[in-house]
Structure 1
Amino acid sequence: MPYWMHVFIRLLVCLNYTSAVPSRPEIRTPDLRRRDPALSTSPSGGYAPVYIKCPPEPFVRPPFEKDNGHAKLGQGESTYVKEKAAQSIPLWQKYLENVHLESFSIDDFLKPAKEKGGIAALTLPNIGFAVSGGSVRATLFGASILDSFDSRNDKANAAKVGGVLQLANYAAGLSGGSWLIGAWATSNFPQISTLVPTWRLTQENEIWKWNVVKHFMRHRKIVKKKHKAGFPTSLVDGWGRILSGHFINEPGKKKQEIGISVLWSSIREVSLYKKREAPFVMAVATSRPGSGKPFTPESPTYEFSAEEFGVFHPYLNVSIPIEHLGSRHTATRPESQSCVAGFDNAGFIMGISSNIFSIGDSPKKEKRPKSVNAVRKLIRDVDFEGKVPNPFKGLGKKSDPSGGNFQDTDMDDLLMADSVFIDESIPLRPLIQPERKLDVVITLDASADGKDKDDPNFYNYPNGAQVYGIYNKNKLPVYSGYHMPNIPNVSDGTFVKLGYTKRPTFFGCDDLRGPLIIYIPNYRATEDTNAATEKVTFKQEEIDKFISNGFSIATQSTGPTQNKDWPICLACALVDRQVLRNSAARTAQCQACFKTYCAIP
């Protein structure tokens, strides 16, 4: 039976019916204790949200509020980045002293920051990470790279790349990347290598295995409480419960109970977030324009941060407090409505960001997998979408319909899904928002678009299609306000022929209209890491290979493209926009680096 058939039938039967799961002996598992537990902040004490009184102002970002011509950032985000940048001067000093660039004065570079204060994109570089989707493969690849850039990693410091993670003001994750971001953030942003062993990836995690099946009925009971409280539920709630058992940190709890009261908004309460010692994190997802309707190029990208839930889109810019996710109609009549608290369950949000089950809701004219069609016939009235009550209903309507309405303006519930359905499996969209003023986006690509099974160094590795797809979408008139540097053609093989899938590459070195993109793909540097997307169980040696291979890529210390000058070149890319703002020039050393790593215009 195909993988997807197992996934759908096992999970759907459980969530739609009450038949008992046959009794089997318990399988003993080790007591996996982690450094910092996630915080249980659900007002109900469980998975079900509750109704509360609405605040006087329902929005974090009121619709279309502008700041110097750009959509305004929410106050929580602005304050976070401002305060983090203000204390980043010593971090830059330490990082640059370790790298030791030639003919580069650290004092001159940091002089504006020391005189005016550390200000992102003004006196200091503004850096972000985009962690792609790709199931556990993406989670492990992203983990290996972030750990290799962590100043708490002695090997990273010795390789002169440690500290880059601490310099980043933003980190966005999608699908498998959101699992990494969610696990990391809810656990108080520890060194990621301390978290990986606790994700239970070596257990039998296939959804049809007894190790998972035995918890289905308990998951159903937990989700049912949310339904009884008056909130929409779907297959994605069950999926989120399964993910919580792996990626939410609650030592001492039974696996099936983990994460029921851990909210995405609880990230605000962990100590490193309060101290502004971690990036401002986001999970990303899209929405289907209606049940059975196809996604379109105008389908939006929604963001879940620790402060707000919202959208930046040419037809609508708006957000609400993340703690009020699940509230209906707050956009139009907040004073006469009840708001919601406790809907932003962390596992549920990770489930939304990785909701590949949405394929079951695709139009009949689209070719669906046979397993999906079989499930649709077997079980009727199945909800394949992550359902979120629409707080923006009625917003984004144009007086002139020809001007375009926001896709979800008439939806009662947002039908949320993995952004892979809109060809954006890399969460670049939030980080190329002009109002965020990113200088550099370190883009981690663990997609699996390489289809040549005869080439083990290409099959199931990235081929550039995801970053090229976003670049192409930005050429559409509706996205004229966004800018990405030129990305070589993937369909004619140019991207691969230029070698950009087998080493880090800088895109936009001399294009100042948007951020410089440091593209880091998953590839075989020293180990095979092209695991299938459906692979969810890994041997310890396979996990170790991911970590080792990622370190080789992040440091360029071993492998076919190893280069002892890579740490220098990485630093050159990170400081470049600030060097220009300081009215200085690239050093000869950095010019040589850009000649090596910058993409051909």
Structure 2
Amino acid sequence: MKALHILCASAAVLAQAQAIWPFDSGSSSSTNSDSTETSQPSDDGESWFQSVVGNFGGDGSESSSTEGAASTDDSNPYAPFNTTCPSGSLTRDANDISDLEKNYIQKRQEITNKNLIDFLQKKSNLTDFDAESFINDNAKDHNITIGLAFSGGGYRAMLCGAGQLLATDDRFEDANEHGVGGLLQSATYITGLSGGNWLVGSLVMNNWLSVAEIVNGSSSIWQLEDSILNPSGIRIDKTIAYYYGLREAVLAKEEAGFDTTITDIWGRALSYQFFPDESGGENITWSSVRNMSHFEDHTMPYFMVVSNARKPGDLIINENSTVIEVSPYELGSWDPSLNAFADVEYLGSSVHSGNPNDTNICVRNFDNAGFIMGTSSSLFNQVLLQLGNYDINSVIKSILTGLLSRLSYAEWDIASYEPNPFFGQESGESVAMIKNETLYLVDGGEDLQNVPFYPLIQNTRDVDVIFAFDNSADTDESWPNATSIISTYKRQFAQQGKGTPFPFVPDVETFLDEDLSSKPVFFGCNASDLDALITWHNNSDVNATDVPLVVYVSNHHESYYSNFSTFKLSYENAEKYGAIRNGFEVMSRNNLTDDDKWLTCVGCAIIRRQQERFGQEQSDECKQCFKEYCWNGGVKEAAAVSSASGLSEITGLRTSSAHSTSSSTATSSPASSETTSKTSSSSDNESTSSENSSSSKQNDGVINKGQPSFFFLLGNLLLAILAN
């Protein structure tokens, strides 16, 4: 019967193939709709990268040797199933990091301390600096804690971020010779959002796979030549079988009694590109990483991915959104609106105030890894508002426009977490969120915080320095313009963000005028300049030395134009490896040729907060590094914040009448929002508005609820064909 369904559906799709597939999956280069500028890797010079380029473009036919951890149920691998409940509550208040995280960090930092000593001694090679005594003598008081944060931006962010990550990974020998190899091994935390989640998630869920293994073809994941919509190219029969498999998985979850949304389909589709097994990770859960060898031996950083929660009925997401983080152990938020965490392994269980309604019936397998990655990237929720700007078939455009007119206020852009793991939770201030039977999560970048800083600026994690990799598409040419970091900076002056100090940063105009994207830039170089922020946050437990220094690394052209559209769905090998190579060179300062002191300066950034904490003078060479890389605008030149935020404690801080730090209500309908004007600081954060020069956002980040993704709708069209 299944074969008959596939055969009939194949015939139906073949009859309309021209209409169904609006993208050319066989293109060998970017089009104007994909990238403003394109190039092949430069042939000038004999760089290290060309010594391994022969391994690039491996056919990926070898099966991956990476471990995967499966659920215990084989009958319906994607469907959640009932199990007995563990003892105690399934939730906790967000007063501190969990004991499980504390234990992991303690053991992880036994490793990172040794690696950091090695990095500072052999790579940074700091003058008159005893790395071993500096690290070990102060370890009882404070271990230097490094965080890496990878932005959203679709496959562009995944690939550019992969190159940036590769430059920090000492498992790749060229990173040791021409990059900052060992920084990754010295990092305690790593975070990802949307496309950055695809990067982080696919590596950790394949047992801490190295990007080098993907590059040289020893791992078969990230086969991107064919679109996720048409993964088998001209083999329509295989494509229909693929969609049939998606349908069966989602129906299995539905038949098990759980609400399903388009994010289930999206997550399942993504998984076929991220997991090497034939089922596309159908039975791999997020919590199962706990049983993988490289998590058990603490060789991978503690990882977290980011989504946003939306209160039921709200039409907007802005700086007062609730930021949700998902770690190997927990899902939840530090924000006062929720202020709680739930055990990720038992998501799907019916609870009240964290206590199971029936102690004999809890749920496992709800936390499918693809579903979690799909949740963080349930993106493109504005794409249909600008259908006229996209080169898609007119038949599809007509169908989607008709669907939009009927579904514009439906919940098509969300992931449904039902039952709500925080139902009845008393720690949160949002009555609507804790009284609703469903927790609704959306793309992590929809509040404009497209770089996942938020987990790393929680004071309880004691992060000293954050290496932030921004691969957003904020400008008309799809390059970053610092909207993401500005949004996180501004959020600290809103109710949700108070208590999480973040360094001063410039506005978009300054960032562009001073060409701050052309090389890494350090923010918050001197803790003494941050006293005004500490005064504002008014927390006696937080000192200026507790505010992380931020090393902001922005995507830009080195050897390849990697400014692809967020909505580019297929990549030829030359494009994939070109973007990875360019990312490597962005982080390595062009293989250390643009600045042969870059490794030294990275070391100076890492040790800065610890030096300030213990009153140690900065060396002359580090002072020179900071002169080269620090933005010293401070309070008087920082990006303006809302005058409504009551910042009288900080004299000299520029304010504006803009209400970007307060909640507001969207009044325009999807039809009318096409005419909204575009501001210079609007960011893509996985939305259409910055991917197309004529598209826009409303009210500095206000996003309408329920605007369905083109990808999801098209998938549902095919599924509807299968169902008939």
TM bin (shorter chain): 0.7 to 0.9
Distance 1:469 1:571 in 2: 27
Give the 3 Å change call, closer, same or farther, for CA 79–372 of structure 1 in structure 2: farther
Matches within 5 A, 1:287-302: 287-291=309-313, 293-302=315-324
Map of 1:557 onto structure 2: 590
Counterpart check, 1:422 vs 2:422: no
Map of 2:68 onto structure 1: 38
Counterpart check, 1:544 vs 2:557: no
Map of 1:350 onto structure 2: 373
Q: Compare 179-188 and 92-101 and name the one that shifted more.
A: 92-101
- Give the secondary structure class of the aligned counterpart of 1:302: strand
Distance 2:382 2:433 in 1: 19
Distance 1:461 1:313 in 2: 30
Contact 1:397 1:406 in 2 (8 A): no
Map of 1:95 onto structure 2: 119
- Give the secondary structure class of the aligned counterpart of 2:9: coil
Contact 1:202 1:537 in 2 (8 A): yes
Map of 1:532 onto structure 2: 565
Distance 1:361 1:63 in 2: 39
Map of 1:77 onto structure 2: 101
The structural deviation recorded for 1:317 is 2.0
- The letter for the 1-side match of 2:517 is T
Map of 2:251 onto structure 1: 224
Map of 2:647 onto structure 1: none
Percent identity over the alignment is 28
Counterpart check, 1:468 vs 2:506: no
Give the 3 Å change call, closer, same or farther, for CA 77–521 of structure 1 in structure 2: same
Matches within 5 A, 1:125-204: 125-159=144-178, 161-196=180-215, 197=217, 198-204=220-226
The structural deviation recorded for 1:138 is 0.4
Q: Compare 306-315 and 578-587 and name the one that shifted more.
A: 578-587
The structural deviation recorded for 1:176 is 0.5
Give the 3 Å change call, closer, same or farther, for CA 200–169 of structure 1 in structure 2: closer
Structure 2 gap segments, 5+ residues each: 15-24, 26-58, 234-238, 386-396, 528-544, 635-724
Q: Compare 210-219 and 98-107 and name the one that shifted more.
A: 210-219
Contact 1:292 1:361 in 2 (8 A): no
Give the 3 Å change call, closer, same or farther, for CA 236–171 of structure 1 in structure 2: same
The structural deviation recorded for 1:20 is 5.3
Map of 2:79 onto structure 1: 48
Give the 3 Å change call, closer, same or farther, for CA 209–155 of structure 1 in structure 2: closer
Contact 2:339 2:427 in 1 (8 A): no
Distance 1:435 1:215 in 2: 44
Distance 2:620 2:460 in 1: 32
Contact 2:147 2:465 in 1 (8 A): yes
Distance 1:44 1:54 in 2: 20
The structural deviation recorded for 1:249 is 3.4
Contact 2:204 2:289 in 1 (8 A): yes
Q: Alignment partner for residue 417 of structure 2, among 388, 397, 402?
A: 388
Measured against aligned partners, the alpha-carbon deviations of 1:528-553 in whole angstroms (never above 9, x if no partner) come to 10011111211111122112212211
- Give the secondary structure class of the aligned counterpart of 1:542: helix
CA RMSD of aligned residues (A): 2.7
Measured against aligned partners, the alpha-carbon deviations of 1:263-309 in whole angstroms (never above 9, x if no partner) come to 01111111111011110011211122225632243221111111111
Q: Compare 179-188 and 540-549 and name the one that shifted more.
A: 540-549
Contact 1:134 1:448 in 2 (8 A): yes
- The letter for the 1-side match of 2:9 is V
Contact 1:37 1:249 in 2 (8 A): no
Contact 2:154 2:194 in 1 (8 A): yes
Contact 2:467 2:553 in 1 (8 A): yes
Contact 2:113 2:186 in 1 (8 A): no
Map of 2:19 onto structure 1: none
- The letter for the 1-side match of 2:370 is G
Give the 3 Å change call, closer, same or farther, for CA 243–58 of structure 1 in structure 2: same
Question: Structure 2 length as normaliser, TM-score?
Answer: 0.71
Distance 1:104 1:450 in 2: 42
Give the 3 Å change call, closer, same or farther, for CA 53–312 of structure 1 in structure 2: same
Counterpart check, 1:573 vs 2:605: yes
Structure 1 gap segments, 5+ residues each: 1-16, 65-70, 363-368, 399-403, 452-458
- Give the secondary structure class of the aligned counterpart of 1:316: coil
The structural deviation recorded for 1:388 is 0.6
Map of 1:509 onto structure 2: 525
Q: Alignment partner for residue 9 of structure 2, among 12, 15, 21?
A: 21
The structural deviation recorded for 1:179 is 0.6
Give the 3 Å change call, closer, same or farther, for CA 19–422 of structure 1 in structure 2: farther
- The letter for the 2-side match of 1:98 is K
- Give the secondary structure class of the aligned counterpart of 2:617: coil
Q: Compare 47-56 and 441-450 and name the one that shifted more.
A: 47-56
Give the 3 Å change call, closer, same or farther, for CA 191–397 of structure 1 in structure 2: closer
Counterpart check, 1:447 vs 2:472: yes
The structural deviation recorded for 1:22 is 1.5
Contact 1:330 1:339 in 2 (8 A): no
Measured against aligned partners, the alpha-carbon deviations of 1:499-526 in whole angstroms (never above 9, x if no partner) come to 2211101100113341111100110022
Give the 3 Å change call, closer, same or farther, for CA 438–446 of structure 1 in structure 2: same
Give the 3 Å change call, closer, same or farther, for CA 150–200 of structure 1 in structure 2: closer
Question: Structure 1 length as normaliser, TM-score?
Answer: 0.85
Contact 1:386 1:417 in 2 (8 A): yes
Give the 3 Å change call, closer, same or farther, for CA 409–528 of structure 1 in structure 2: same
Map of 1:8 onto structure 2: none
The structural deviation recorded for 1:90 is 2.3
The structural deviation recorded for 1:110 is 2.7
